[in-house]
Chain A
Amino acid sequence: MKNTIAERIQDFLKQFPPFNNLKKEELLSISAQIRILYVEKGEYIFKQDSQCHDEFYIVREGAVGLYRNFDSNQNLVDICDSGDLFGLRIMIIKKNYRMSAIADEESIVYAIPTEIFEPFIEENKEVNKFLLNTFATHARNDYTETEKGHRIDNTISIEVAKDLSGLRTISYRKKPITCSPDDTIRDIAKKMTNKRVSCMIIVDHNDYPLGIITDEDLRVKVATGIFSVTTLVAQIMTTPVFTYSKKVTVAEAQIALIKNNLSHLCITKDGTRNSELIGILSDHDLLVSFGNNPSVLIKETKRVKKLQKLRYIRKQVEKLLKSYLEQDIPTPHIINIISEINDALITRVIKLALKEMSSPPPVAFCFLVLGSQGRREQLLMTDQDNALVFEDVPEEDYESTQRYFLELSDIITKGLHTIGYEYCPAEMMATNPRWCMTASKWESQFREWIITPDEEGTLLSSIFFDFQYVYGEVTLADKLSDTVFDGVNKSNRFLGLLGISALKKPSPLGFFKQFLVEQNGEHKDTFDIKTRAMMVLIDAARILSLYNNLKGVNNTLHRYTKLAEVEPENAALFESCAKAFRVLIKFRTRQGLLHNDSGRFIKLNTLSKNDKLKLKRCFRPIRDIQEVLKVRFQLKSLM
């Protein structure tokens, strides 16, 4: 009997080893027995130390993280992308799971019954070989390795899980720029300038590495006049070079570089000097792999050509954030750095998307981020909220122009999703035709929200007025903010309505000064730090900034600082608001890192008594600032 679904699964499986070694009918019979799991972010597929399931798994869509608990720390051991197998080793050994598999994002996973697959392990040589290889070397299958460029060695990590980063192999630059020993210095200097590289490997006719020339050599040996530019490179190159195989780990590379005072290592096929050069590893690559240097991360972001790599950088940013929080670096400073990297990531995604388009943009445009991203308060990756403005076009071209930008936005938002920004559930994204318009349409939309405010309008304006320019024609964004301020000056009613919505936010504490928790839904019994505490402070800062005509400040902390300047009589209150906000944002970030989510919903039982008191202290300024709004916009009668 025909089985369309099994055929489709077969089509997917046959791309990946070991399934690509099976006959079509064999694979089809396996496919017909598969269970398709849908797992949400954070959901367990199996838990460490639990009895092993009678099935193993392959990721169809999304990503699954393998974690190992160690001293009550959960360490990420590996991330499985589409086509990666997991839970397989254990099926052969038949012991309890040694790691936990947790969905890193919404994922679809195929579960393959062990029973059905077992005969093939015994009978099919290729399958057997693949599995043995996997277990022996933990080499990730070749189809995904190039995509990721990094992997963590499972066997070793089990013993020394404490320092995983040192055991990871590093990604290196493939296809390095090379030249022959007979080239002149001038030739290679030109080549290096053209390709914008700081070093060049000299290879013989077999592509075996002979020596290396760096910027430093050119400075020290040539610019000083010791050698002339017509000298052959063979005379000034540093030789021999240090070579390693591509399996070199971070720790090994680091030791080699420091011990020999080098800036570059050559990667060759078998790791010796007498084999083909396949890549080059610089001290820069090493720094990137540590991920503790923001400027390196930004630099790396600008160079990356693959989204998967950006996703990896994003993971590094999280690590960076964690270490900053541990070191108690001031929150405003952390916010600045993380926002810079975020901007760089988004800009890179947009640039990559533009390259994918078949033609350049028909008119100038500008890409905006909204909400928390727009206010530059996004420490953890939350939803993506964004919009796109393009230059006015004649009526007859409108549709085709909009279609172009919608297509572009589609690629951008998908890219952002790939690197880890969730889609906005409310579709406040540039892929929505409502949020991808010409400048004049945006202006009239903004004016409409201000002049004839209704509930939807105030809701949307509180998101959209905090926009921040990221990429494109900056004047388009400037014009929009002029519209907002001009409009607001004429409408006190609008500010009043915004004020009401800020006052209507649910309060953080109940009558007995206890925390109020969510009553139902996914987040039942947790404390919603965003709506119950942070939103009021954010809203109040926005309203008062609009009232005082403070252009160009979006960040809530900056807004309070500015407000303290223009309203010195309230300076003390504004400062305490800013302080409260700093504490809250830190709380949220810590919670988010702890639970690998947005940190918005806090489980109160995970807080210490001290933490709870600290939180409660933040609520005082919230009440006070609400009073200020009530008085200023005469809201008492309206409530």
Chain B
Amino acid sequence: MKFWYKKRNKNYPDFWKEYLSLFEKKGSKLTFENIRFVAFDTETTGFDYVDDRVLSIGAVAIKNNSINVSDQLEIYLEQEIFNEDTVEIHGIRKNNELDKVTEKTALELFLKYIGNAILIAHHAEFDRRMINKALQRHGLGVLKNRFLDTSVLFKKTKHLVYRNDGLNTHYSLDDLCNDLKISKSDRHTASGDAFITAMAFLKIVSRLKKKGFDIKKIFL
């Protein structure tokens, strides 16, 4: 009880309060067609939740089986910590010519953008934790959105014969691209990967529907 009390009294910035308020009211009846999904990806300086930082966030919205390019977000963050090793993979240098925002502004933009959408990411746990850590650094709570992981969804589409090829099979985003025939351009940029994830999501949903999965049970 004490914990709850304390949390309430905290002096949160307006954008966080607004974000929280979206999850309070029960909305109208949700169906696959009217839910807003947001596929997103983060590029980071490394894989350590504490020491590494988000370099960029890319996100794109899906509604009613289509991707709205006008409803997208692409932000690059100013960097304090910098890890030489990962630059080669995604090519974002410290202080290059892209418009950059502070971590706090980035979070504000991101939260405003996602709202209460269902978030989709590949190996979602990583992106979720990176964002949550960043939120916590600014004294905010964690993401409230529902998460879907395309690597998990993809596994459900595989034929039984192959699903058991070692229980620990991990499907990388590259595997998905190959299997679902998605073009790999802009791989390893946040927006590019977010877009690929969105594409993969649509294709996976259609395969799951064909297999007789009740889509509602997965999402709602």
B162 in the interface, Cβ–Cβ < 8 Å?
yes
With a cutoff of 8 Å between Cβ atoms, the chain A residues found around residue B10 in the complex are none
Q: If the complex has contacts A425-B159, A456-B161, A521-B211, are A5 and B206 also in contact, measured as CB distance less than 8 A?
A: no
> Contacting B162 at CB < 8 Å: which of A106, A427, A523?
A427
Binds B, one of A32-40, A149-157, A535-543, A556-564: A32-40
B72 in the interface, Cβ–Cβ < 8 Å?
yes
23 pairs of residues in contact across A and B, judged by CB atoms under 8 Å: A1-B74, A2-B98, A2-B99, A3-B74, A5-B74, A5-B195, A6-B69, A8-B192, A8-B195, A35-B67, A38-B67, A38-B203, A61-B181, A108-B199, A111-B66, A425-B159, A426-B159, A426-B162, A427-B159, A456-B161, A520-B214, A521-B212, A522-B211
Q: What 1/0 mask marks residues of chain A from 101 to 144 whose CB sits below 8 Å from any chain B CB? A: 00000101001000000000000000000000000000000000
11 more CB-based (< 8 A) A-B contacts, given A33-B69, A34-B70: A1-B74, A2-B191, A3-B69, A4-B74, A37-B65, A38-B66, A38-B202, A111-B66, A427-B159, A456-B161, A460-B161
A31 in the interface, Cβ–Cβ < 8 Å?
yes
A381 in the interface, Cβ–Cβ < 8 Å?
no
Contact status A520-B212, CB under 8 Å: yes
With a cutoff of 8 Å between Cβ atoms, the chain A residues found around residue B58 in the complex are 4
With a cutoff of 8 Å between Cβ atoms, the chain B residues found around residue A459 in the complex are 161
> Contacting B60 at CB < 8 Å: which of A5, A520, A523?
A5
Shortest distance between the CB of B205 and any CB in chain A (Å) = 9
B186 in the interface, Cβ–Cβ < 8 Å?
yes
A9 in the interface, Cβ–Cβ < 8 Å?
yes
> Contacting A32 at CB < 8 Å: which of B69, B209, B212?
B69
Residue among A1, A33, A36, A523 having the largest count of chain B Cβ atoms under 10 Å? A36
Which A residues have a C-beta under 8 Å from some C-beta of B?
Answer: 1-6, 8-9, 31-40, 61, 106, 108, 111, 425-427, 456, 459-460, 520-523
Instruction: Give CA–CA (A212, B72) in the complex, Å.
Output: 62
Shortest distance between the CB of B67 and any CB in chain A (Å) = 4
With a cutoff of 8 Å between Cβ atoms, the chain A residues found around residue B65 in the complex are 37-39
With a cutoff of 8 Å between Cβ atoms, the chain A residues found around residue B202 in the complex are 38
B95 in the interface, Cβ–Cβ < 8 Å?
no
Which B residues have a C-beta under 8 Å from some C-beta of A?
Answer: 58, 60, 65-70, 72, 74, 76, 98-99, 159, 161-162, 181, 185-186, 189, 191-192, 195, 199, 202-203, 206-207, 209-214
Q: If the complex has contacts A34-B69, A38-B199, A456-B161, are A4 and B212 also in contact, measured as CB distance less than 8 A?
A: no
Instruction: Give CA–CA (A456, B189) in the complex, Å.
Output: 41
Instruction: Give CA–CA (A192, B60) in the complex, Å.
Output: 60
With a cutoff of 8 Å between Cβ atoms, the chain B residues found around residue A37 in the complex are 65-66
> Contacting A426 at CB < 8 Å: which of B69, B161, B209?
B161
Instruction: Give CA–CA (A532, B43) in the complex, Å.
Output: 51
Q: If the complex has contacts A427-B159, A427-B162, are A4 and B210 also in contact, measured as CB distance less than 8 A?
A: no
Q: Which single residue of chain B is at the shortest CB-CB distance from A30?
A: B69
> Contacting A522 at CB < 8 Å: which of B69, B159, B195, B210?
B210
Contact status B212-A36, CB under 8 Å: no
Instruction: Give CA–CA (A282, B38) in the complex, Å.
Output: 56
Going nearest first, the 5 A-B pairs with the smallest beta carbon separation are A521-B212, A4-B191, A36-B67, A426-B159, A38-B202
Contact status A35-B99, CB under 8 Å: no
Instruction: Give CA–CA (A140, B57) in the complex, Å.
Output: 41
Contact status B210-A521, CB under 8 Å: yes
With a cutoff of 8 Å between Cβ atoms, the chain A residues found around residue B72 in the complex are 3, 5-6
> Contacting A9 at CB < 8 Å: which of B69, B212, B213?
B69
Contact status A2-B74, CB under 8 Å: yes
Contact status A32-B70, CB under 8 Å: yes
Contact status B192-A4, CB under 8 Å: yes
Instruction: Give CA–CA (A39, B74) in the complex, Å.
Output: 26
With a cutoff of 8 Å between Cβ atoms, the chain B residues found around residue A427 in the complex are 159, 162
Shortest distance between the CB of B204 and any CB in chain A (Å) = 11
Q: Which single residue of chain A is at the shortest CB-CB distance from B63?
A: A35
Shortest distance between the CB of A13 and any CB in chain B (Å) = 12
With a cutoff of 8 Å between Cβ atoms, the chain B residues found around residue A426 in the complex are 159, 161-162
Shortest distance between the CB of A619 and any CB in chain B (Å) = 24
Instruction: Give CA–CA (A35, B198) in the complex, Å.
Output: 13
Q: Which single residue of chain B is at the shortest CB-CB distance from A111?
A: B66
With a cutoff of 8 Å between Cβ atoms, the chain B residues found around residue A111 in the complex are 66
Shortest distance between the CB of B109 and any CB in chain A (Å) = 10
Contact status B209-A5, CB under 8 Å: no
Q: Which single residue of chain B is at the shortest CB-CB distance from A11?
A: B185
Shortest distance between the CB of A58 and any CB in chain B (Å) = 13
With a cutoff of 8 Å between Cβ atoms, the chain A residues found around residue B76 in the complex are 2
With a cutoff of 8 Å between Cβ atoms, the chain B residues found around residue A40 in the complex are 206
With a cutoff of 8 Å between Cβ atoms, the chain A residues found around residue B191 in the complex are 2-5
> Contacting B189 at CB < 8 Å: which of A4, A39, A425?
A4
With a cutoff of 8 Å between Cβ atoms, the chain A residues found around residue B209 in the complex are 522
Instruction: Give CA–CA (A36, B58) in the complex, Å.
Output: 17
Shortest distance between the CB of A25 and any CB in chain B (Å) = 16
Instruction: Give CA–CA (A9, B195) in the complex, Å.
Output: 11
Residue among A35, A38, A425, A460 having the largest count of chain B Cβ atoms under 10 Å? A38
Q: Which single residue of chain A is at the shortest CB-CB distance from B211?
A: A521
Instruction: Give CA–CA (A487, B19) in the complex, Å.
Output: 67
Q: If the complex has contacts A3-B74, A4-B58, A522-B209, are A36 and B69 also in contact, measured as CB distance less than 8 A?
A: yes
Q: Which single residue of chain B is at the shortest CB-CB distance from A109?
A: B66
